[in-house]
Amino acid sequence: MRGAARSARLTAERARFWAWARRLDWALRRAGGRLELDAPHGARFHELPVIEIEPGGEGGLLALRLGRHVKLGRLLTLQVWAGQRTQVDLGDRSTFQTGCRLVLRGGRLRVGSDVFVRDLTQLKVTGGELTLGDHVQLGRDCNLDCARSIVLGARAGLAERASVVDSDHGHDGTDAFFMDQPLRSAPIAIGANTFVAANAVVLRGASVGPNAVVGAGAVVRAGELEGGWLHAGVPARPLRALGG
């Protein structure tokens, strides 16, 4: 009896997921895009994601691929620019907790297997490529904003409220509105098994090697920080080698 009940529950869950996917495709088509879905296993969910579609342009595409046992938490929001071409790959057993937000403005979001994204975290791609390697852990209320390239290696982690942003608007000190000034971007790379502690900020052009720690509240500017070291401060600088 238990097996039959579980099978019926999974069948109903899968039917709800496919009905949601049809609504997403319909909303995209109304706004100039369409959905290309590869999710033979559906998804596990407490609630189906909230859909926010931004219209504009024609020929947009959201290519959405879900691996096995993907878990979608409550109030997960997909904000999609319908006129852009965006690819989203969620690996096997990837998990999003409550209130997470995916802002998809073109480009690619690649989430590896066994990635865990905690409550209220935002992942934003605006024409760039954001990659989370296998077993990456993102703490509560993190912000990753990708206009060019952000890569977190396997088993890397961000603690609560950490931010990784690969672009910014310059400011020349005049009255010109800063948002109208040129956007500058440069790739960010955070090495495998590197931990970025709470409230740290990683800025465009930064590269942190593997097996490192970035201390709480640190600001990592453009340049390379060596793997296997503790880096802290504003701006972040090496303090000591780890494991010695």
Query: Where do the domains of the chain lie?
Result: 18-169+181-241
One-character DSSP codes across 104-117: ESSEEEEE-TT-EE
State the Cα–Cα distance between residues 197 and 48, nearest whole angstrom: 31
Tell me 180's DSSP state: G
**Higher-confidence residue: 178 or 150?**
150
State the Cα–Cα distance between residues 71 and 50, nearest whole angstrom: 15
Query: 45, 13 in Cβ contact below 8 A?
Result: yes
Nearest to 163 by CA among 179, 193, 139: 139
Cis peptide before 210 (omega within 30 of 0): no
Indicate the pLDDT class of residue 244, thresholds 50, 70 and 90: low
pLDDT tens-digit profile of 128-175?
999 999 999 999 999 999 999 999 999 999 999 999 999 998 888 888
90: CB partners within 8 A, 6+ apart: 65, 66, 67, 70, 111
User: If residue 54 lies in a helix (H) or strand (E), which one and from where to where?
Assistant: strand 50-54
Query: Could you confirm whether domain 18-169+181-241 is CATH 2.160.10.10?
Result: yes
Answer whether 0.75 is exceeded by the pTM: yes
Tell me 2's DSSP state: H
pLDDT tens-digit profile of 54-67?
997 788 999 999 99
